[in-house]
Amino acid sequence: MEWLEVSTENCPVQRTLDLVGEKWTLLILRDAAGGVRRFDDFRRHIGLSEAVLSDRLRKLTAVGILTTVPYREPGSRSRNEYRMTRKGWDLWPVLVALRQWGDMYTPDPEGPVLDMRHVECGAPVRVVVACSEEHAALTPKDVSARPGPGARRRV
């Protein structure tokens, strides 16, 4: 079966984009990975409406990418902080890859907004595709992609 004969109805890229493919959702995840926890902090930092933020946080919590942790400031009502779950942290390489691509193809004239470095050696961090045998970074020419067991013939 060739790629154009494969149905896209069960495509994992499509399923992922259904969950996190909106601009505001990715910016919320960027901020959550950066340590933002509280609703008002997300709203101020990203600059989106309360209604949109509430909707996106509710969706991310419902699918288990974020979880809520109650907190209470003295004299105030109880509220929730939003924390990345394991499922959320598994999206971190995607966020780093988007940052990496943006720094390369849409750079700020003054340089990168974030200088991400490996804590142990101080080298810059980059996202690469590697095989499970831990070979060096792979290019598209180094990879074969064939329909897998979940592939369905396009009708």
Per-residue pLDDT reduced to its tens digit, 96-149: 999 999 999 999 999 999 999 999 999 999 999 999 887 788 889 999 888 888
Pick the CATH number of 3-142 from 3.90.1150.10, 2.30.30.100, 1.10.10.10, 3.30.43.10: 1.10.10.10
Cα distances from 25 to residues 70, 75, 93, 135, 152, in angstroms, run 21, 31, 15, 33, 30
What would the pLDDT profile of 34-65 be if each residue is shown by its tens digit?
Answer: 999 999 999 999 999 999 999 999 999 999 99
Q: What is the pTM of this model?
A: 0.87
Q: How far is it, in rounded angstroms, from Cα 19 to Cα 43? A: 20
